Amino acid sequence: MRSPPCARAASRGHPYGRPRLFDREQRATHGLAWLATYVEALRQLAAYAERMQRRRHASARSRSCSSRIGLGEYLAQILGGIPMSQGEIVRPADLGLAPSQVAARMTPARRRADRRRQHCERRARLVELMRAAATARRSATAGSTRRSDTIREEMRKFADSEVVPHAQQWHRTNSYIPLDVIAQMSELGVFGLTIPEEYGGMGLGKESMCVVSEELSRGYIGVGSLGTRSEIAAELILGGGTEEQKRKWLPKIASGESAADRGVHRAEHRLRSRLAQDARGARRATSTRCYGNKTWITHPVRADLMTLLVRTNPNEPGYRGLSMLLAEKPRGTDENPFPAPGMSGTEIEVLGYRGMKEYEIAFDGFEVKAENLLGGVEGLGFKQLMQTFESARIQTAARAIGVAQAAMELGAALRAGARAVRRGRSSTSRASPTRSR
C-alpha cells in the first residue's frame, strides 16, 4: 500500500537529524506507526495459527479460533478507527486515504472476516474449547520452544512456592516484597535476562523475558513487575549509554547488586537541572543539580539508580531540551526513605499493583554527576526514552497475560469445587431418608 502524502512527508524526517516534518505531521506519523504495528501483529498472529495447525498441537483448534477473532477485530479497527488512546482515534481518512481507496481494499475475504454474527459465533466456540481444555497449563505453553518451557517451569515452581502463599498478605498490608524473595530472583537470573553476556547478563531474547514476566505475574503482579523493571532500565543504558556507563552499571543490574528504577510520567519534563560550579566559580560540568518533581516512580526507596528525564536546556522548546540522567542514590528505609540531600518523597496510595510502592519525589538541588548524563550528549533524553518503550509495552502485555492466567486458573478451580460440592449434596440427599413434618 502506498503511503498517504502526509505520511510520506513525515517519513523524510530522521529522529536524530532535524525532524521538522515529524513535528508538523505528528498525528499522521503517530497514526502510521499504530497502523504498521497492527499490520505486523496480524502477520504474526496468522503465522502463529499456522504453526499450531502444522504441529497439530492439542490446543490448535482454540488457537485457530482465537486467531480468527483477533484478525477480525484488528481489521475492523483499521477500517473503523484505531484507538491510540482514550481520546485519540486514527482513521484511514486521517492518513490521507479517500473513501474510494478504502473501498478498493475491501476484498471478499475481508468482508467475510467482518461478519458480526460469525464473529460472535467464534467467540462462543472459543469459550467451549477453553472449557474442554484438559489443563490451563497446556494453554500457557502452546507453541513455545523447549528453552521457554524450561524457563516457564522453573519460574512457575518459584512462584508457586515462594510467592503465591504470601501474595495476598503482601497486598493487604501494602508490604514490600521481602528481600529474601528478591535475592532468590537474582539467583535465578531474573534481573539480567536480556542483558548481553559480555555485561554479565544471560543474553536471552524478548520471548524469554515475556515468559518470566507472565509466570511471576501469575503469582503476584508486583513480583512480575519487579522482576523485569531493572531489565527495562538496563535496556535504556544499553541503547543510549556510553561504553563506560554500560561497563559500570549493566553488570551490577544483572547481578542484582544495584536495584534500578525507571518510572516514567509525562510530567517528568518539568524537572529541570543546571550545571554546578566549581570552587572558583567556573562553569564546569562536574555535576548537575535537579529541581522539580518526578511523579509516579516505582520502588524508589530501595533503588540505587534512578533514570531522570530532565530539562537541561531551557532555551530549547519541546523534547529537544530534555536529557536523561542516571541518578545514583543511597537505599532508604521505612524510617528514612530518602536519605540523599535535596530529595524527598510522598507515597502515592494505590488500589493494586503493590509490593514496591509508588512515590512522587521532590528534588531541590539533588546532585547528579555530570558523567551520568546518558550517552554523554545533551538533548537526546526523549529519543533515548522512546527507544525503550517497545520493550516496556511488551512487558506490560506479558504481565497482563500472567494475571489473566491466574484468574482463569482460579475460576476453573472454583467452578470445579462448586461442582464437587453440588455432587456431594446430591449424594447426601439421595442417601438420607426424607423426614416427615
Q: What is the pLDDT of residue 407?
A: 92
**Average pLDDT of the segment spanning 44-65:** 70
| pLDDT reading at 230 higher than 90 | no
| pLDDT reading at 234 higher than 70 | yes
- Nearest Cα to 19, choosing from 265, 379, 376, 266? 379
For the chain, give the mean pLDDT: 80
| pLDDT reading at 278 higher than 60 | no
Would you state the cell numbers that stand for residue 122, as one nine-digit string? 467464534
Which is higher by pLDDT, 61 or 278?
61
| pLDDT reading at 283 higher than 50 | no
**Average pLDDT of the segment spanning 65-87:** 83
Backbone angles phi, psi at 140, to 5 degrees: -70, -25
Which fold is adopted by the domain 260-379?
Butyryl-CoA Dehydrogenase, subunit A; domain 2 (2.40.110)
| pLDDT reading at 57 higher than 60 | no
The residue ranges of every structural domain in the chain are 5-133, 145-257+388-437, 260-379
Q: What is the pLDDT of residue 9?
A: 42
Q: What is the pLDDT of residue 274?
A: 61
Q: In the chain, what percentage of residues exceed pLDDT 90?
A: 35
Which is higher by pLDDT, 113 or 50?
50
pLDDT, tens digit, 9 for 90 and up, residues 293-350: 888 888 889 989 988 999 988 888 778 889 999 999 999 988 899 999 999 999 999 8
Q: Which helix or strand (DSSP H or E) is residue 297 part of?
A: strand 287-298
| pLDDT reading at 406 higher than 90 | yes
Q: What is the pLDDT of residue 330?
A: 92
CB neighbour list of residue 340: distance below 8 Å, 6 or more residues apart: 329, 330, 366
pLDDT, tens digit, 9 for 90 and up, residues 201-228: 999 988 899 999 999 999 999 999 987 7
Strands 272-275 and 287-298: antiparallel
CA distances from 151 to 49, 77, 158, 177, 188 (A): 23, 35, 11, 22, 10
Q: In the chain, what percentage of residues exceed pLDDT 70?
A: 77
Q: What is the pLDDT of residue 390?
A: 77
Q: Which of 12-26, 234-248, 298-312 has the lowest mean pLDDT?
A: 12-26
| pLDDT reading at 15 higher than 60 | no
CA distances from 105 to 78, 97, 102, 108, 143 (A): 11, 11, 5, 9, 32
Separation CA 93–CA 91 (nearest Å): 5
CATH of domain 145-257+388-437: 1.10.540.10
Cross-strand pairs, 347? 359
Q: Where are the alpha helices (DSSP H) in 196-267?
A: 206-219, 221-240, 243-255
pLDDT, tens digit, 9 for 90 and up, residues 125-150: 777 776 666 444 444 455 567 788 89
Which is higher by pLDDT, 385 or 15?
385
Count of other CB atoms within 10 angstroms of residue 291 = 17
Q: Which of 88-102, 103-117, 196-210, 273-287 has the lowest mean pLDDT?
A: 273-287
Each as own residue / partner, the long-range contacts of residues 23-26 (CB below 8 Å, 24 or more positions apart, any chain) are 23/318
